[in-house]
Structure 1
Amino acid sequence: MSSLSQTDPEIAALVGAEEQLQADTLRLIPSENYVSQAVIEATGTVLQNKYSEGYPGKRYYEGQQNIDPVETLAVERAKALFHVDHANVQPYSGSPANLAVYLAFLRPGDTVMGMALPMGGHLTHGWGVSATGSWFRGVQYGVRQDTGRVDLDEVRDLALKERPKLLFCGGTAVPRTIDFAGFAEIAREVGAVLVADVAHIAGLIAGGAHPSPVPYADVVSTTTHKTLRGPRGAMLMCTEEHAKAIDRAVFPGLQGGPHNHTTAAIAVALKEAATEDFRAYAHQIVANAKALGQALAARGFELVSGGTDNHLLLIDLTGKEIAGKPAAKALDRAGIVVNYNTVPYDPRKPFDPSGIRIGTPALTSRGLTEGHMPIVADWIDQVVDAARKGDEEVVARVRAEVKDLMDAFPAPGLSRLSA
């Protein structure tokens, strides 16, 4: 950081402040995590200096003697870890990866079917405000109001009626196990390409803590951060049948040169994810989420679908007489970082919804286990109650207690603070 401090002290100060914040706070946003020092180092290498349009062995630039082996390592590690025929590690992020799937299989106006955004889906699964809902005909399924879970019979009925060419399963606020085999059966019945968007649960799949979409899905789309603990990038994996279509869609269809420094960091993360330590980590994420859910339910919190099978919990705060946004703001002041979130059939607007979304990947990376989850649940309960009453003294007290616990469980990758 010495060079950055000399060149741009303002940015250096903000980076340092963010590192301190990440060290001191309990991060419960399910899409966030801590990467290892090795991943951070790979991301900050001279690989940023190279342009590499094309694929290994078929580049449009010379000087790829070291870049091709880097990308090949990432590809081969992805194939081995997820047991897939083909992997493309070049997508810049999750949304561009999903756009590449559209380009590979659809033409503008074709029908795509995915989970509705307010029900836990993702913007790029055909939701109206996304390009995928503007350029294509989006049809959405949801969850049952009485269970908070996907009903595959309802999905099948809708698919038979609408006949989508692309069917997405997965989302951003899905606390239950995804039935990939059930979705595959529906996709085959209507002649659709099945895409499993596992951005949130890729690390759980790699660690054996969630069923794999392979061999059920034609295409698997994922980010490389979140539970996978890699850099902010993405991958598309597929059967050999669709390999050429996927590769052409990524490049030259949507992108130019890949971000080689990110590719290297993806390779590092995939190597880490193939270890027994990572497998234990993935299972601990789920154990922590279940324990946290039980502790919150015991304190009167309403969990959408009644609990969780994975890393996240979706909480409806209506019964606590507070909306999600003021609760999330108060929790943030207390050093507990969550995001406010819509819940299924939410009567409130998305920017001021009824719920919050929390997850356990980051706190598990710090070494917290099931025994700590009642403490976390108690803090959340105290702060939500304090927010409703306007009691900032409680918020301040919890903030100090959170910092004490975080000091006892240092986060990986925050080298500046320990140097």
Structure 2
Amino acid sequence: MENRWHRVLHLRNGFRWSGSSLKVSNRDGVQCGLGDNQPLCVADPDVFWIMEKEKQRQFKGIELIASENFVCRAVMEALGSHLTNKYSEGMPGVRYYGGNQYIDEIETLCCERALAAFGLDSENWGVNVQPYSCTSANFAIYTGLLLPGDRIMGLDTPSGGNTSHGYYTPNGRKVSGASIFFESLPYKVNPQTGYIDYDKLEEKALDFRPKILICGGSSYPREWEYAKFRLIADKCGAVLMCDMAQISGLVAAKECANPFDYCDIVTSTTHKSLRGPRGGIIFYRKGLKPRKRGLLLSQGDGSDKYDFEEEINFAVFPALQGGPHNNHIAALAIALKQVATPEYKAYMQQVKKNAQALASALLSRKCRLVTGGTDNHLLLWDLRTLGLTGKNFEVVCEMCHITLNKIAIFDDNGTITPGGVRIGTPAMTSRGCLENDFQTIAGFLLRAAHITSTVQRVHGKLQKAFLGGLQNNKDIVDLQSGIENFATRFAMPGFDA
């Protein structure tokens, strides 16, 4: 009945129905076109079938990329919703477009849930949920608080840092925008232990005097000692910023050290371990500065209050971005509601247990892990002791329906080789895998390593010859079948049965 009356209303206003399509005509009967109201499989079968193949790849494979996860149905529904139609430049209550009263409600709710998820008081912390990614969030911090050419310091990318914290290649090429527009100097891990060398970090920071000191990285399997970072930042007069993109889920669940206890600014992605939509988020201190802290950035006027809020919000918009993605913000609000539940805490506890089970299984088979294990959701496997390269191993794993990523690892002389892989447990934990399942996964990984070693021995490590040796390989076919049988036992969040 509702559908019939909707059609009557549309006809009175010049709309015309044609099957499943809704079209509009002017008074002369010329069609203006509102597009088809067809499902994707009808409107664009080419895209639809590629998407279906990707859905099957996810379902039939083992996802071990540490920065990936599977969102729930509600998050996907929000992402694919009518909210994508609305332009909302500006902040809630001060938009540049009209018609944003409900968008303001959604963004305000998302901000409230973000603070609640991490146990933060709105009197002391503010949040911006508009960044399109964590890289965008980080660059907003630099743009808001620094002048071009000012200094920043973060963990070296080959040591496990993120390129958005600044990175030069060995030949001096500036890879990161942070290094193009600002001056960056990295600190590093000890090449023998894989742990951050805090003594050398302090020495470098006091010589370099960065205005922003960054903790957090993409591939560091151990705890961050935020108290040490705080002391160093205070000694050199730096703002202390944490990029917790990898570990934000663990932070929210109180399963790792809390950067909010020591840092001035905290950024994160909203996917990865947080299990929300892809995007970024910024938390910043508000209110009075504690007397025990040293001088911080933007204190030149003698104020005893943090003044991050205006600079950071202005940097996000209008300095760097256009309108926020309202469908993403709604999806993030949904994910953050889940983050604040006991079920989510149990999930993150299982993520850590699974990472430790996987690490133990590999170590028991004489595999070498950087730092000898993990404190969080990821581990770094040094394949050089097996005579393998991370690139070749990654290719074999992908052919067998395991996805992970190659990673550079420091050797004893400090040179960089792509000799390892990064492995994470959040995604498969979301599918219901437990410790015993990750022991099975360790067995799959070792079989893939054996295949890689055999093909390298017969055909060599060079890419063309190596790839040729993988064609019609019976061992790969057998392993692929075993992995598919294993993976399809576990449900996919958000997928139809």
Provide TM-score, normalisation by structure 1. 0.96
Contact kept? 2:191, 2:413, Cα under 8 Å: no
Where does residue 271 of structure 1 map in the other structure?
337
Contact 1:348 1:354 in 2 (8 A): no
User: What amino acid does structure 1 have at the position aligned with 2:314?
Assistant: R
Q: State the Cα deviation string for residues 11-69 of structure 1 (Å, max 9, x = none).
A: 10111100110000000000010000010001011000000011111111100111000
Please name the residue that 2:447 is paired with.
382
Counterpart in the other structure of 2:309: 243
User: 1:158 aligned to 2:204?
Assistant: yes
Which residue of 2 is the match for residue 288 of structure 1? 354
1:414 corresponds to: 495
- Pair 1:45-2:71 in alignment: no
- If each structure's helix is expressed as a fraction of its own residues, which one has the higher value? 1
Alignment of 1:223-372 (within 5 A): 223-240=269-286, 241=306, 242-345=308-411, 353-372=418-437
Out of 103, 108, 112, the residue aligned to residue 143 of structure 2 is: 103
- Listed as ranges, the gaps of 5+ residues in structure 1 are none
Equivalent in the alignment of 2:476: 395
Structure 1 residue 93 corresponds to structure 2 residue 129: no
Any unmatched runs of 5+ in structure 2?
1-36, 169-174, 287-305, 456-469
Q: Which has the larger radius of gyration?
A: 2
RMSD: 1.6
* Matched-pair identity in %: 42
* Structure 2 equivalent of residue 116 of structure 1: 156
Find 2:52's aligned residue among 3, 6, 16.
16
In 1, the alpha carbon distance for the partners of 2:38 and 2:67 equals 30
Give, in angstroms, the shift of residue 289 of structure 1: 0.4
1:89 Cα deviation (Å)?
0.1
What is the identity, as a one-letter code, of the residue corresponding to 1:399? Q
Compared with structure 1, are the counterparts of its residues 40 and 123 closer, same or farther at alpha carbon in structure 2 (3 Å cutoff)? same
2:409 aligned counterpart, secondary structure: coil
* 1:62 alignment partner AA: G
Measured against aligned partners, the alpha-carbon deviations of 1:67-115 in whole angstroms (never above 9, x if no partner) come to 0000001100011111331110000011111100101111111111000
Query: What secondary structure is seen at the aligned counterpart in 2 of 1:33?
Result: coil
1:349-376 Cα offsets, whole Å, 9 max, x none, are 98x7111111000010011111112211
Partners of 1:322 and 1:297 in 2: CA distance: 17
The alignment partner of 1:343 has SS state of strand
Specify which structure has the bigger relative contact order, considering alpha-carbon pairs within 8 angstroms and separated by 6 or more residues: 1
Q: CA deviation at 1:347?
A: 8.4
Taking the aligned partners of 2:116 and 2:95, their CA distance within structure 1 comes to: 24
Q: In 2, are the aligned partners of 1:346 and 1:353 still within 8 Å (CA)?
A: no
- Listed as ranges, the matches of 1:112-151 within 5 Å are 112-128=152-168, 129-151=175-197
Aligned match for 2:99, one of 63, 67, 73? 63
SS in 1 for 2:213: strand
In structure 2, C-alpha distance between the alignment counterparts of 1:337 and 1:348, rounded to whole Å: 28
Q: After the TM superposition, which of the residue ranges 87-96 and 404-413 deviates more from structure 2?
A: 404-413
Instruction: Provide the secondary structure at the position in 1 that maps to 2:488.
Output: helix
Task: State the shift of 1:394 in Å.
Answer: 2.3
* 1:82 aligned residue: 118
User: TM-score when scaled to structure 2?
Assistant: 0.81
Contact 1:100 1:254 in 2 (8 A): yes
